Structures are given as structure tokens and as C-alpha cells.
Structure 1
Amino acid sequence: MKFAFTGAAALLMGTTSVMAGGIERAPQSLNVLFEEGNYAELSFGAVDPTIEGTDVLGAATGDVAQGYGFVGLAYKHQFNANLSAALIIEQPFGADIRYAPFDGTNGSPVLGGTRAIVDSTTYTALMRYKWENNFSVHGGIRGSRASADVTLDGLAYGGPPPTGISGYGVSFDDSWGVGYVAGIAWEKPEIAARVSLTYNSDIEHDFDTTYSLVPGVTANTTVSTPASWTLEGQTGVAADTLVFGSIRWVDWSEFKVMPPGVGPLPSVDLVGLEDTTTFNLGVGRKFTENWSGSASFTYEKAGDDLVSPLAPTNGRKGITLAGIYTQDNLKITTGVNYTKLGDAQPQTADTARASMTDSEAWGVGVRVGYSF
């Protein structure tokens, strides 16, 4: 029995990357490891989020979330029947939140001028060894390059120093960090079944940090991107029909960004995030020799309504539709995602400063894969 999606469940999870818990934009899936033979792929796309609301003084915040594009590369090499390796390049973490400065008429006097820009790229090198009993292990190292700029501004931050921290801005220069990946999987090719469990370690970065309010002063800030566990599975349920899903937990509560105090500026905890658990469930169907399709639903439970102004959403529900065209060794996946982002209340000092409602995001993506 042959299935269109063998070795490629959750085929679109990284193709239409959309805002997830914390500052995560892609699920760091290792599905490329399970492709048959030698395989290379390129993925790219764009996301357009809309996050807006009203501050506690009744002023509109405007749309604080900027659209973004992404690109990913992956290569998998099969050395023999048991041993394979892969290299994955992706952009799993990022943020571009900007509250328009208050000009006396437009913008939010409470949070206007607050912003967070985060860029990162990870490079993952993996090995996989498969035994004859259908069990396999995989693991490797992951290098991450990241940078960020953060500004806290508006009445929510209590005025300028020394009475408050309004106008506080920090820049984190490019920094590299290294972590590891480890996991186990079981497969039954006859029914296109597979279950895998993968652990991603945290990755520690040491950033050279500069302060907008204290020119010429440089400090060091240590930040660790969060550890995570991902459980992925798929199985054939009928001829040419596959069910797939995943559960992903991310340790966001351990993600701390606290530049040291310098001069009149105190040490400031820039973000406060909760752990997230994300569920994905979908079905794939082969329609002809060349065309297949899939639909999947994503759910992330909402947490505390009070959130960081730099991550102003709370939970999400999304649907992804994909079409897959296969011709000989070439496979082209295109898809669209719509995500309803949960309402949230950006806060400082455990006090709500605004209310963000009816937030959403649209994502489109293309993935081109070639087997050889």
C-alpha cells in the first residue's frame, strides 16, 4: 500500500511559518531526516500578522506587528541502509513588534515607541542510525546566530530615569551559541506509520550590549533560547490517506532577557513568557499520481491574559491547507495558513496597559524538494 505522504507528515508545518508561542516562528521539525534516499529542499514564504488594540487611556495602538519573510534550506544524505545525515538551515525565532510613537494625536501615549526586533538563524547538523527492528536514534548539534534591539517607551514605564525607565533602549550585537538535538523514532513503512520524539536543548548566547541612554557603555548579557520537546506521528488509515500530528512543548518561562544595570539604569527584565504546548492534527490525501493535498489544525492554549508588550498575543488557533505536486523526483508544496491569535493585555508591573483583540495572521509558503 503506497501513501503520498510517506516520510513527510506535517509537510507544511514549516512552510507557512506563523507566529507561535513566545517569539517562535517555526517548529524546528526534523522531518527531512525521514525522506527516502538523498534529498534536498528549499522553502520560502511570507507572513502578514495584524495585532492591534486600545490602551488604557482609550488611544488606538495601531497595528504593532510587522510582516516578515523567511527562507529555509535542508539537505539529507543516505550513506547506507542504516546511516544518514542532514543539514538544516532555518529561522525559528524572531520578532518585529513596533508601537507607533505617540505624536500628541496619533499612537498610544501609554506604550508608543516600545519595540522589539529579534533576528536569528540556526544551523543544525544531524546523524540518524536505523536498526532492522524499525527503531532509530537521531542527534546532532545546533548552532544559532542571533541579534536584537529593544526599546521600552511610554507612560507604562513611569517616565525617564531615575523615576522610571521610559526611553530605555538596548542593542544586542550578533552572537553565536551552540546546543544539541537528540531523539528516537519508530517506523512501520507498510502502513506509513512513524512516531518520533525529539529534544532540543537550550542555546546560550553572550551578547555585547549597548544602551541608548548611556552612550559609550557596553555590558554583557547572557540569554538562553528555550529548550523544547516535540512528539510527531503519522499513520496510514486507508488507501492513499494519512493522518498526522504533533505535540510541542517549549520552556519559555526560562527565557530571560535581563541586561545588567549601568549608571542610572537598573537591570530590567525585558520579557516575561509562559511555557507553551502546541497541538497539530491533520490529514493528507493522494488524489492522482501527481497531486495530493492536506489540511491541518493547530491549537495552542491561552495562558495568563497579562502578557509582555513585546509578545502581545495569548494562544492561537490555526488552519493550514496545502497542495502537493509530485513529478518524478520533484515535489512542490504550496500552502496557506490562517491563524486566529488570542486576545491579550500587555502589562507592566502586573498592571494591564492595553487590550489587544481580534488579532490574526495569514501565511503563504512554497517548499521545493528533490530526491536523488
Structure 2
Amino acid sequence: MKNVMTAGAALLLSTSIVSAGGVERAAPSMGLLFEDGNYLELNFGYVSPDISGTQQIPAGPGSPVGASSGNMAEEYTQLGFGYKNDLSNELSIALIFDQPYGADVNYGADTDYAYGGGVTPLGSTATIDSNAITALVAYKLPDNFTVYGGVRAVQTAGEVALFNGYTMETSTETDFGYVLGGAWERPDIAARVSLTYHSEITHDFKSTENSPSLPEPQDTDFSTTLPQSVTLEAQTGVAADTLLFGSVRWVNWSVFDISPPIFALGSGGGSLVDYTDDTVTYNIGLGRRFSDEWSGAVTAGYEAAQGGFSGNLGPTDGNTSLGVAATRTMDQIRITGGVRYIWIGDAETEAPLALTGGASGVTLGDFKDNSGWAAGLRIAYNF
């Protein structure tokens, strides 16, 4: 069953694309805590989204209704690492590295779309980069129960350059949160249920903002809270060499807000990025071992659309995905590869107040029929 579980877990880990709402790219699984013996894994992911929309209001002679944004979401790669060590029959420690949050937005300067080119020759770009390390301790209790917890450090930085000449760059900040969880197992049928809580983490950024209305760049500061989350993971054998697995993940995205003070003042109190609703993401899969060397899995994922306006720097709303994976086992080494196709939910974006004469609730972009694909690779070693 270990081969089957690896195939499913690797696919779910490495093929994230706006798959947990907001700007989350990776949601770490606690699965490595339950590997036999000492364990090491390396994870690689590649995501290629295709997200474009059409303009719904005019923004001057160079930016008409019907102008296309072009593909405003750039491809990206993901790296991950996990290590688990048994200190005794009851006590284990683990270390996880991942890149949980990110954004790579580029409304090219050669488009006529108002949030990209057309209005000025600048276009609009935005990036968010993050790295995280989680240190965990797990303790096995009687009756197949396990409790675990630890500390999570997240390092984040970002920058943005908008079509109207506004720019902002943040400091790189590292702050800490915690992880708590518990699990129950029944090894004879490969059953396990785990519940994991990640606390919120608040960054206090120092930033440099500039806009055409300022005589020179200004040093400012603002705070952004990375949301708390709860993840339920479950699996069970349903037949010989066949495993059913899945997860449900809630993320408190309604607390997330990026509001640099000069931008907020110039937009009438608006946010550069914020989210109205929390998200719930579902994944389910079926794994099958075909031989001692080969196993495979199929997975499906779903996140419901929230409705309302999406941000111009992230014009998506929900998604549905299908994926396949295969694992090759060679003694203590397992290599898993997977691919996933994602149908990205339709979204509308709100026009900046500068384009509407101060009127709110006006649609700028209509983003439909978008999609993406992702590929992942995991190399695991039990020792």
C-alpha cells in the first residue's frame, strides 16, 4: 500500500494552481509523518496557467471595449523537501521545506487591455515569493492515535508595477506560526484520518511606494496576515492493493489584505489585493498497485466559485481538476510522476475608480474559459 499512497500524495502536493484560493500554491501534507522508518523526499513541480480576459468598458482611444489582456499568468516552478526521523518507537521528528505562497502576474505592455498596456507603455506586473520551513514532533499514543505539532517559519516578499505608474516593493520578512494535529490509523486496512491546523502568520512589511503624483518614492509600512487553515486528510483500503484517499481544506482567506498606504489613499481606501470569502478545497483519488514495482493513481479536485469580483492581479474564481500519477519502486527508492489538468473558474474584475469617475462596482475584465496544466515529480527514500 505504501506505493499507492505515494502516487496519490505526490500528485496532490505538486500540482497546485490557485487550488486553495488566494495566492496559495502548496498545502503541505502530513503524510511523511506516517512513513515507515526514516524517510527523505524531494519534490519538483511545474505549472503552466493560461488566463486571459476581455475589457468591458473603454479606457481611452488606445484601450477599447473588447481589448484582450493576453495570458496574464506566467508559468512557475515549485520545489519541496521533507525529512522524517524516528527517535524511538513512539517519537519522531520531521522537517518540511515548501514554497506556500506566490504570484507571477504580467499584463504585457503590448496589449490594449486597460490594466496592462494601452493606457501607458508600462503594462502591469506583480510578484509574490515565499519560502517556508516547518519543524514537527510526532508522538504515537496507544490505540493507534498520533499527536503532532511544531513551528512554521514563512519568509515572504513582493513587488508590483501598475499601468498608471504606481510601483511598490516590500522588504523580505520572516515570521512564525505553529502547527497542531492528530491522527488515527488502522494498519490492517491501510486506514488513516488526520486533522491538521496551521495558525495564521502576520508580516509587518517595510515598503517603498512611488506614483506619478509623488515627487519621489516614499518609505511606508503595512501589515498582511497569511491565513489560518484546517486540513482533513483520509485514506482507506477498499480492495486488495487498492486505496481510496482524499482531503478537505479550509483556508481563512477573508483575513488576507495587501493595502500599502499610498496605494490605499490613491484608490479611495481600496486594497491592492484582498479576498471577500474563505475557501474550501476538495481532493479525492483512487490508487492501485499493479506489481511490486509499479502503481498508479487518478485524482480529482474541486473548489467552488465564490462569485462577486476577483482581483485584477488574480482573476480566477474556483477550479476543477483531473490528474494521473505513476510510481516506480526500486528497493528503498520510489519515483513518482504526475500530471494534472485544471479548468479555472470564470471571473470578473472590477474597474479601478480612476477609469470610472469614482463609480464602484463596474466590471473591467471578463475572464472566461481559462485553464492550466501542471506536472510533478517526487523522489522518496526509506532508510
Give the alignment's TM-score, normalised by structure 1: 0.91
CA contact (8 A) 1:98 1:114 kept: yes
Superposed, 1:86-165 pairs within 5 Å as: 86-101=94-109, 106-112=111-117, 113-153=123-163
Superposed, 1:1-372 pairs within 5 Å as: 4-5=3-4, 10-20=9-19, 21-56=21-56, 57-101=65-109, 106-112=111-117, 113-153=123-163, 166-213=164-211, 214=214, 215-261=216-262, 265=266, 268-273=270-275, 274-348=277-351, 349-372=360-383
Aligned counterparts of 2:67 and 2:3: Cα–Cα separation in 1 = 52
Query: Runs of 5+ in structure 1 lacking a partner?
Result: 154-165
CA contact (8 A) 2:7 2:296 kept: no
CA contact (8 A) 1:196 1:231 kept: yes
Aligned counterparts of 1:331 and 1:132: Cα–Cα separation in 2 = 30
CA contact (8 A) 1:245 1:282 kept: yes
The change in CA–CA distance for 1:126 and 1:8 in structure 2 (over 3 A counts) is: farther
CA contact (8 A) 1:175 1:206 kept: yes
The change in CA–CA distance for 1:264 and 1:304 in structure 2 (over 3 A counts) is: closer
Aligned residue for 2:346, secondary structure, equals coil
The change in CA–CA distance for 1:8 and 1:295 in structure 2 (over 3 A counts) is: closer
Aligned residue for 1:11, secondary structure, equals helix
Aligned counterparts of 2:374 and 2:6: Cα–Cα separation in 1 = 24
CA contact (8 A) 2:146 2:184 kept: yes
Query: Runs of 5+ in structure 2 lacking a partner?
Result: 57-64, 118-122, 352-359
Aligned counterparts of 2:68 and 2:187: Cα–Cα separation in 1 = 55
Quote the offset at 1:111 in angstroms: 4.4
Root mean square deviation, CA, Å: 1.8
Structure 1 residue identity aligned to 2:139: Y
Quote the offset at 1:311 in angstroms: 1.1
Quote the offset at 1:132 in angstroms: 2.1
Structure 1 residue identity aligned to 2:162: L
Query: Relative to total residues, which structure has the larger helix share, 1 or 2?
Result: 2
Q: Deviations along 1:117-161, whole A, 9 cap, x unmatched?
A: 1000111001111112111111101001111012333xxxxxxxx
Aligned counterparts of 2:238 and 2:43: Cα–Cα separation in 1 = 28
Q: Deviations along 1:279-312, whole A, 9 cap, x unmatched?
A: 0011000000000000010000011142111110
Give the alignment's TM-score, normalised by structure 2: 0.89
Q: Percent identity at matched positions?
A: 42
Quote the offset at 1:167 in angstroms: 2.7
Structure 2 residue identity aligned to 1:40: L
Aligned residue for 2:4, secondary structure, equals coil
Aligned counterparts of 2:341 and 2:6: Cα–Cα separation in 1 = 25
Quote the offset at 1:36 in angstroms: 1.1
Structure 2 residue identity aligned to 1:149: E
The change in CA–CA distance for 1:335 and 1:9 in structure 2 (over 3 A counts) is: closer
Quote the offset at 1:265 in angstroms: 4.4
CA contact (8 A) 2:7 2:325 kept: no
Structure 2 residue identity aligned to 1:170: M
